[in-house]
Amino acid sequence: MGTIVDFVIRDDLRDFSGYSSARSLSVTGDIWLNANESAWNNTSDPEGICRRYCDPQPPVLREKLAALYGCPAEELLIGRGSDEMIDLLVRATCVPQRDTVIWTPPVFGMYAVSTRLQHALPLEIPLRDTAAGLEIDSEAIIEAALRTRAKLIFLCSPSNPGGKTIPLAQIQKLAHALEETLIVVDEAYIEFADSSSAITLMSSDNDNIAVLRTLSKAHALAAARIGCLIADARLIAMLRRCQAPYPVPAPCVNLALGALNDQALAQTQSRIEMVRRERQRLQTALLAHPLVRRVYDSDANFLLVRFDQAQNVFDTLLDAGIVVRDQRAAPQLTDALRITIGTPEQNDRVLELLFSMETTT
Ligand SMILES: Cc1ncc(COP(=O)(O)O)c(C=O)c1O
């Protein structure tokens, strides 16, 4: 019996030790002359935060994120957003033109982008549009993954743009049926949902479940580019060797640490509650609009809405300076827009415009 690292990591990378950076050496000293850094601070950086190369995985941030997400620190890898983690996973596991990656459209576009860049084989198993929302087709995923010996399955929960969370029992079932495939659960929006994280499913029996988390959404730090992969510790150690030498810039580490103190976390929590209230209010109001065909229930910080005259709706909002996401090029969503939940005032403005439209069309 192998473990998930044996099943998914590319054969040619098994003994790969990666770049040995100036900060990965376990030496101590007072005068550091080993990395060709400048001996002086830049005037733009008077405190010298950026003069030296940073720690590849700053231990304090790693510990704090692990505590936040409820996992051991050695099971967590920090990167430049979940985007980098998606790319790293595909590169480290897929041999070009041989290995398969599965995802479930309509869904976040980076799974397809990273797969294309690696020249790996894409396999799309569409979501099913049911009365309960856009749902994964577990049986079809299992069949396809077994048939192709897929390396990775990206599941988005809550789904972007569908908004629906995948029940943990369904993720567990996939993990049991597909022991040689890594099931990657992208939880970029889980803070806005009621359900627990798939991190709670991770164990030595379930070493093929991995979870993506980010500070970009609920924690309001999209431009700091801090995201994490949580997975089996051996897999994390291997991916760390494949990652760029200094993936987490020091100013971003400081921003992230600031976001993880009690006061900042309390504020984040109260904003999450506000988003959830506004989501409900906006959904109820939109459902009463004559041009609205359907508003999908959402566990995230956006609503997916099907409209009669979606172009007209999009243009009306845009003319007033409100930019929403046009989803009409996505499979199954030919009449849909995705509206991010804004402040109560911004949401009022959206509703005002939409309801004024009703009288003129
Ligand atoms: C489902 C999903 N995953 C990941 C990301 C990217 O997150 P990050 O900013 O951490 O790279 C997004 C961004 O929109 C997303 O919608």
232 Cα: distance to centroid of ligand 1 (angstroms)? 21
In this prediction, residues 274-291 reach a mean pLDDT of 98
Location of structure tokens 């991916």: 239
83 Cα: distance to centroid of ligand 1 (angstroms)? 6
Q: Using pLDDT thresholds of 50, 70 and 90, give the confidence band for residue 24.
A: low
Contact residues of ligand 1, CB 6 A cut-off = 81-83, 108, 156, 160, 186, 188, 214, 216, 222, 227
Cis peptide before 122 (omega within 30 of 0): no
Q: Using pLDDT thresholds of 50, 70 and 90, give the confidence band for residue 359.
A: very low
263 Cα: distance to centroid of ligand 1 (angstroms)? 25
Q: Which of 82, 166, 228, 327 to mutate to test the pocket of ligand 1 (most atoms within 8 A of CB)?
A: 82
44 Cα: distance to centroid of ligand 1 (angstroms)? 30
Half-sphere exposure of 341 (CA within 13 A, CB side): 25
- Give CA–CA dist 24/274, Å, rounded: 42
Q: Which of 90, 111, 213, 216 to mutate to test the pocket of ligand 1 (most atoms within 8 A of CB)?
A: 216
Contacts of 16 (CB under 8 A, 6+ apart): 241, 242
Task: List pLDDT tens digits, range 55-95.
Answer: 999 999 999 999 999 999 999 999 999 999 999 999 999 99
Contacts of 181 (CB under 8 A, 6+ apart): 7, 8, 145, 149, 150, 151, 152, 153, 208
- Give CA–CA dist 32/231, Å, rounded: 34
Among 329, 38, 298, CA closest to 159: 298
207 Cα: distance to centroid of ligand 1 (angstroms)? 23
Structure tokens at 214: 């980010």
81 Cα: distance to centroid of ligand 1 (angstroms)? 7
Q: Which of 86, 90, 186, 190 to mutate to test the pocket of ligand 1 (most atoms within 8 A of CB)?
A: 186
Q: Which atom of ligand 1 is nearest to the CA of 216?
A: 9
- Mean pLDDT over the full length of the chain: 95
Quick check: pTM over 0.85?
A: yes
Residue 318 has pLDDT above 90, yes or no: yes
Which residue minimizes the CA distance to atom 14 of ligand 1?
108
- Give CA–CA dist 341/79, Å, rounded: 26
CA 255 to chain CA centroid, nearest Å: 19
| Residue type for position 213 | R
Q: Which atom of ligand 1 is nearest to the CA of 107?
A: 1
82 Cα: distance to centroid of ligand 1 (angstroms)? 6
Which residue pairs from 10-16 have beta carbons closer than 8 angstroms and sit at least 24 positions apart in sequence? 10/92, 10/93, 10/94, 10/95, 11/95, 12/95, 13/92, 13/238, 13/242, 16/241, 16/242
Task: List pLDDT tens digits, range 319-356.
Answer: 999 999 999 999 999 999 999 999 999 999 999 999 99
Contacts of 262 (CB under 8 A, 6+ apart): none
